[in-house]
Structure 1
Amino acid sequence: MRWVWVWVGGSAAAACAGLAVALYYLPGLEALSWVAGAGSFVTAVPSLVLALMLARTQAQPSSTAAASAGSVVNSVGDAGGAALQAGDVSGPVQQVGGNHGDTYTAHTMTISQSPPVEGSAEAPDRVASAGTVEQADPRESGVHAARPGADGTALPPYVARDVDEVLERYIARAASGGGAVLVVGDSTAGKSRAALQALKRTLPGRRLIAPAVGADLRALATRLSTTQQEDGTVVWLDDLHRYLGLGESGLTEDTLKALKRADAVVVATLRSEFADTYRADALASGQERREVRGERENTAALLRRFDTVELDRVWSPGEIQRAAEAGDERLDEAVARHGVHGIAEYLAAGPDLLAEWRNARRSTARGGHPRGHALVAAAVDLARTGLLTAPTSAMLDQAHRPYLAGAAALRPESFEQALDWAQQPRLGVSSLLVPDDGDQRCWRAFDYLVEAATAPIPASTWQTALDHASGDDERFTIVFKADRADQHDLAVAACESLARSGHPGAMTLLGVWAHSAGHHREAEDRYRRAVDVGYNEALFRLGTLLYEQGRVEEAEDCYGRAAVAGDGSALLELRNLLFEQGRREEIEYWSRRAADSEAPGAMFDLGTLLYRQGQTEEAEHWLRRAADAEDTAPPVQCLSRRSPGAAGPG
């Protein structure tokens, strides 16, 4: 610091000398002007130097203070390449020294560490830290908010639903040796509240584990199978669709079986719109059916593993009577004013929020929020694409612009004003955009709005969803939905990109499209590539293609390998093929192999076959095994190659 003061003193001395010379040689007004200028210079130089010193002192906190704040204190001298400082950095950052690579000067820069990946060593141990069912907070478990009561309670008292007795019986049965229970209903029907209350009445002491979306459920099942759980475990999967279609890390039949073997009780909720999509009786037929088989049939087979309870959105007279007798002002109001809506639906303000969103697309001069309407519409449609990743504010800023087309005359508000309007709670209950994280950087549309939306999704929104999906399995789900929504060109482009990166489902879907278009050589090539990386779904499709070309022996080999791998539909096609050739003695052989591999419906199928052959004792054995495994539904009938009136093998 001493050299700084020497410089300040020298500068002042030089200025004074210049002032003396000016006074001696310059008379009159001109001299006065020089005096004023020199005086200003003498004053300014020390002031400037002192200001620089003060700024430098503030920009360099002591190492002790920095350490106590959890900051990173380091410096970079001469560097021949790029220099990087990592950690939490707050405050001004200055470039100092003679760096020879890429350097940057930043002001008020904040760098935060990303949250740990679920399942990593840094991620919280959800098994070890899980609380009991009795301790579970309804709001954190997915129960919709309601207006706070006069006594400060966040939710009104629970009103018994007509399905409670059945729900409790299913949960108790699942607790006897591992099982799965699913509550299906519309948004705001009361699914999460009913399921959680049933758990609290039947299994209050069990530990409740609610995996984060994207968590590796297969790893969780392995952990539970190797960890002693004295009081047992409940795995809570609210909004089950968020855990489906994520490959081996999501919920699959194998993972569900592993959870059951670990004596875990799996309790899930699912909106009706998704359940209807996956149900076997809603599957298409013919050529269209080829495309939906892998996506919907596999999930339909998974859902058949659950004991399912349907919960109506509109309450029954008995439920309304119990709500009126509960003695809560919120329930009293809901009973009096719910109209055509359900009580839980009214309490969650679903109809009011939907009406406010739909009415917002009008001029700001008339109290409208056209940009706010567009923001919510973008969030709603992103959810409809199958995107599981919650949109950030920046993502919504990008995605909402197409929804403002033709709205210039409405004088849209600013983005900040629109976001503020959309995230404001209404009626003390919920908001149109619901924060997905504590920092309110990510937002989801209120699910009641998602369920009510029917308008076509713009191509730009599909592309945004594909660009921001968290992984290839999630991206593949979006591709499938885009194709079903008549966005075929976009779906093909994305699917080809996934196939090039090695995604077997994408390879297979490209094969399906080629097969449907009559491009059999391309289809076979696509299928075989997927088979080569162990994708059993492609085996079934390859077998079907080969059979259509008269290559029966090759088709039989594909069906057989797929059946042993657990594909119940492949088993059925193989049995049809053997029956057509009069090889009935081999039908039982393949039925046994499929049953031994626990293919969906195979144990039930074998038991039925043996019963028809008069082998009642062994038939009873397999039928009991099927019942114990909840495997009582035979595989869905595939597109038959036989005439509608032809007799089947069973």
Structure 2
Amino acid sequence: MLWLDDLDRYLLPGGLDQGMLSALLEQRVVVMATMRSEVYGNYSERALRGMEAGVASARRLGSRVLNLIEPLVLDRQWSKTEMSRLRAHLANPNSDSRLADAARHHGVHGIAEYLAAGPKLLKEFQTTRRQPKGHPRGAALVQAAIDLARAGISTPLPAETLLALSACYLAAGDASRLQAESPEQALVWATEIQFGVAGMLVATDTAEAWRPFDYLVDAIASAFEAAAIPDEVWEAAVTHANGGSELLPVGRSAFRFGRLVLAERCFSPLAARGGHAAMHDLGFVQRERRPEHTWSSWYRTVSETGTPLQARALGALHEIEGRWDEAAASYERAAAQGDALTMRLRGVIAQRRGQDDEAHEWYVRAAKGGDALAIASFSKPGIYRPEMGHGLGSETWDPSVEGDEEDEEPWRMTARTSRILSCNLEILADMAHDELDELGDQPISPNIFGIFFARLPASTWGQPRHWRRRVLRALDDLNEDIALGHSPEPRCAAEELALHFALESASAMTCDEPDLVAELAQGLPDQQGDYDWPVCSDLLFQDHDVLFLYNPMMQGLEHPDDPLNRHMGIGDLRPEGWFEEFENVLPRDPSRGFAH
């Protein structure tokens, strides 16, 4: 295949012509090319008629080549279908952060253009001030706009403000080069459209006012050692905050940068005017600056009169500092306003205090309110236990009679137990397989019930189809163990959870469908220990740590860096770590493929 990027570079005398294209096609070479739409239009007959004769003659050769090609027009903005697929991808915890940035900031530019032009503009910006004939004043203009954005300003920036602040970024060594670059030239360079997409400074609806290209702001802000924002720029940000509309974001940026005095200057007038968000943030600032101050009064005011989000934040602060009663009261105020997450957090406090019935009631309320983690907590797999005298186990086995330990052989599942467990693994696998095509990459939503993948922990609900298919293979791998005459041995977290669900399903079958169990087990010997699912749950696993994922009190434990995770030696229970095989088991054949 021959790929020609920017095809117009090749449509010159001595370049790609009709004869060369025909020769390539005869050799079965696939020719693909890209060309910007405005350049493509320069080769139309109407455009050629309006050109000088020599230019038109040279371009007519290219026009003949283009007439042989069927163009595929790609719109600058992605279609609704493409954006829908992007949103599904971004719901995945392992999604590409660059795509997430592009989705948030691309604006009038297409996502592809944002991704393509952004790195080029960044490179141009970073290198120009070091070049002998570079644009130090222009780069300083751009840096001032970037730092104002980092300081919390999102409204258009007047050119005179940027020119005044540019002096903050110019070193003594730039003096000789500044003589060759006037302020007007610097502004022209900074705003010039490059790569057919945008300039480093982007025009706005306000005359002579600009904003920085978002990619540059994100790249500079996320740099490992991002430069500090000069004092003059902070003061300009406060001045530019337009009487209060941007004081809140400027104050929050100042707080993140550790400029507490400036943050307090921004929040105080807003809080005095009754702004709940500013009251909340001012409390944080004063707590950091003056612990002895009556900062908690701001929290009480905002908790009692503000939004559920602010009451929840106050509850979290009380909880961090060990004030459980105050935390519970704040959560209850937020819960009274219908905040489902706060209902779950209130249940966590009850659970930590050992008030399990109260915790259950709060989790039920949170689940009814749509909290995903609370909903998933009720799907934790367990073992169904038959009523006394209704078990299907061997009539000759009395579990209350202890055997002679010297005569005992290593435990293994009985033939009947293996058969019923195998049948339930197969049922679950068939169910999961039917769901794969229906779900695709669609995230699980809290209102989806009755399907296998919705019963997994909420942390997995955004995983794509290929991840879910590997969970399906975990069911098949365990069933393969049984088919080979072994007890199923989970080799990874996905297989552990798959086996927990299979044991739950098998125990429910033996309790609720005895006739079906008898039919499935027909011809197999009656043995001591038939259908003893609690013993299977005890002996088939190395531990039950994977079930912590259903416990609302254990949120965050799945990360290997979580302190409790490290203390307990749990390992990586994040979705991306579910298929990492344990070190103390024999690995499965990596080339085994998929049964479904």
> TM class by shorter-chain length?
0.3 to 0.5
Higher relative contact order (CA 8 A, sep 6+): 2
Instruction: Give the TM-score normalised by structure 2.
Output: 0.46
Instruction: Give the TM-score normalised by structure 1.
Output: 0.42
- Structure having the higher helix fraction is 2
